[in-house]
Chain A
Amino acid sequence: MTVAAWLMLTIIVCVLFGGMAYCLRMAMKKRL
């Protein structure tokens, strides 16, 4: 894989999984 492909992979993983982790953290925190 090219460097650009690895870079995109890193960014996408950070955004999608980071976003999901943030939402799950908020769900754990408030628990309405």
Chain B
Amino acid sequence: MVKREHWGTRYGFLMAAMGAAIGLGNIWRFPYMTYRSGGGAFFIPYLFALITAGIPLLVLEIGLGAKTRRSSPLAFEKLTGKKRYGWVGWWATIGSLLLVSYYSVIMAWTLSYLIKAPTLAWGTDPNTYFMKDFLGWTGNPLNLGGIRLEILIALVVVWTINWLIVGKGVRKGIECVTKIMIPLSWIIIAILVIRSLTFPGAMEGVNWYLNPDFSKLRNPRVWLDAYGQVFFTLSVGQGAMIIYGSYLKRKSDIINNSFIIAFADSIFAFLAGFAVFGTLGFMASQMGVGIDEVVVSGAELAFVTYPKAISMLGAGSGIIGVLFFFLLLMAGLSSSICLIEVSTGGLMGSFKMSRKKAVTVACGVSLLAGIIYTTGGGFGWLDLMDNYINYFSLALVGALEALLIGWVFEARRFRIWVNFTSEIYVGRWWDWCIKLVTPFILVTTLVWTSMSILKAGYPTEAPYPSLALLLGFLIILAGMIAAFLCVRLTKVDVTREKFEV
């Protein structure tokens, strides 16, 4: 039997797990979410969600990996002693593979923009440049309009980097690289925050970011958004923390590590808000408009609004652009290598593949699946699949794993075990968070989103054609069926294996 790989140091594990958690959402989603949901007041639901759902799920996933020392499909089989529950782990694995196939395309955009940043190649109209010249967006996902060669080449480069890092293994590859990437990301965000706050009009932007509006907290949607933000930012429901937890040495701490990862992720997002709103405040003051007219989130913030703001800076604008896109690339890469490791670990564990073979299969499949996103209709597919994966894979897996541990394995048993090796302890409140709060919130969000798609389509303002929505759902359904097949095809039986406590 091949000896299981381990993290070299605790610091190495923390850097890798922080890398998995800190992603694009921290930079382009959290600041906007805060602004939209009551400014500084949003931190109340955010912290509440972090304590009642984010950290409990993080403890669950890292603990599940560390206890079973298996990748997510086998971890569920081993813990429950029933092969059928492996489906949850397989769906998490396939979901992460679908996720990384479009996530890597955003990395490819970032890489292209990183090269363009020194010369501000997007010109005076970054919106037209991004949507028409760069993406060639046809306005309809069903109208593919041909492959964009520039994006495809960048995508192949991104996948080669992923393949090289994950192929090197846990200690020499993932740990070694994240130990450089994550401290570097913290340094860059610190530089961007300090520089942004010195722009004229920056403090006005920060005021919009932090000024509390407590009346917004009466809206249940704000609380659901806080739970959604916490859930997606911590990379739970993807099997990522399970596989990283499975490489921990026996008797490693679980709970304190989970708290450190959650706090680091939140602090990073909080700081990113200063960089984003400082820059938006500057841009609004230059244009003589209110910040509400320039504030956006997601790809539009990174590839349209931010480049526009950089262009207004004058001298030194290229350096700020390079730093910003390099930060996005680091944040994205550290998350994508984790997502690839989920599939690699799953294939190695369940089908007895070598690491080289498993990583080649995972990267190859994701690269091929990602080609559709490099076409003229790719932007629509990316947006659509991101919405579907977030809810039908991540939220569903999160709810199911909480229910499995909470009710089938019993939360109390699991809590006693994780407390045994940890530096700080969780009490009975953790049991109730896992048994009731987390599944309730995730199922509510899932039902709410499904109803909204059925009623008004997606996106609600200008829905994509029904055929595209249906095709996207069929891909999700095919993934779920493939997860069943994987359970049947698994060569390894771990249901009677003993726990190494």
Which A residues contact B (CB, under 8 angstroms)?
Answer: 1-2, 4-5, 7-9, 11-12, 15-17, 19-20, 23-24, 26-27, 29-30, 32
Is B423 a contact partner of A29 (Cβ separation < 8 A)? yes
Cβ-closest chain B residue relative to A6: B210
Interface of A is mostly: helix
Distance between Cα atoms of A1 and B209 in the complex (Å) = 10
Chain A hits for B270, CB < 8 A: 12, 16
Among the stretches B113-121, B252-260, B486-494, the one at the interface with A is B252-260
Is B260 a contact partner of A5 (Cβ separation < 8 A)? no
Distance between Cα atoms of A5 and B253 in the complex (Å) = 37
Chain B hits for A2, CB < 8 A: 207, 211
In this assembly, does B407 line the interface, its C-beta being within 8 Å of a C-beta of chain A?
A: no
Is A4 a contact partner of B256 (Cβ separation < 8 A)? no
Is B43 a contact partner of A5 (Cβ separation < 8 A)? no
Q: A12-B40, A16-B267, A20-B267 are in contact. Are A5 and B252 (CB under 8 A)?
A: no
Is A27 a contact partner of B260 (Cβ separation < 8 A)? yes
In this assembly, does B41 line the interface, its C-beta being within 8 Å of a C-beta of chain A?
A: yes
A4 interface neighbour in B40, B43, B47, Cβ under 8 Å: B40
Is A5 a contact partner of B263 (Cβ separation < 8 A)? no
Nearest-Cβ distance from residue B273 to partner chain A, whole angstroms = 10
Distance between Cα atoms of A19 and B210 in the complex (Å) = 20
Distance between Cα atoms of A1 and B260 in the complex (Å) = 30
Nearest-Cβ distance from residue B460 to partner chain A, whole angstroms = 31
Is A5 a contact partner of B267 (Cβ separation < 8 A)? no
- 7 A-B pairs in the complex with CB atoms less than 8 angstroms apart: A1-B203, A1-B206, A5-B210, A12-B270, A19-B263, A27-B256, A29-B423
User: How many residues on B have C-beta within 8 angstroms of the other chain's C-beta atoms?
Assistant: 27
Distance between Cα atoms of A20 and B212 in the complex (Å) = 24
Is A26 a contact partner of B39 (Cβ separation < 8 A)? no
Is B423 a contact partner of A26 (Cβ separation < 8 A)? yes
Proximity bits, B417-436, A CB within 8 Å = 1, else 0: 00001111000000000000
Is A32 a contact partner of B423 (Cβ separation < 8 A)? yes
Is B47 a contact partner of A23 (Cβ separation < 8 A)? no
Nearest-Cβ distance from residue A7 to partner chain B, whole angstroms = 8
Q: A8-B39, A15-B47, A32-B421 are in contact. Are A26 and B256 (CB under 8 A)?
A: yes
Cβ-closest chain B residue relative to A21: B263
B39 interface neighbour in A5, A11, A20, A24, Cβ under 8 Å: A5
In this assembly, does B246 line the interface, its C-beta being within 8 Å of a C-beta of chain A?
A: no
Q: A8-B39, A32-B421 are in contact. Are A23 and B210 (CB under 8 A)?
A: no
Chain B hits for A19, CB < 8 A: 259, 263
Distance between Cα atoms of A18 and B78 in the complex (Å) = 38
Is B260 a contact partner of A8 (Cβ separation < 8 A)? no
Distance between Cα atoms of A20 and B263 in the complex (Å) = 6
B424 interface neighbour in A5, A9, A23, Cβ under 8 Å: A23
In this assembly, does B266 line the interface, its C-beta being within 8 Å of a C-beta of chain A?
A: yes
Is B264 a contact partner of A8 (Cβ separation < 8 A)? no
Chain A hits for B212, CB < 8 A: 4-5, 8
Proximity bits, B204-224, A CB within 8 Å = 1, else 0: 001100111000000000000
Chain B hits for A17, CB < 8 A: 267
Chain A hits for B82, CB < 8 A: none
Chain B hits for A9, CB < 8 A: 40, 210
Distance between Cα atoms of A9 and B462 in the complex (Å) = 37
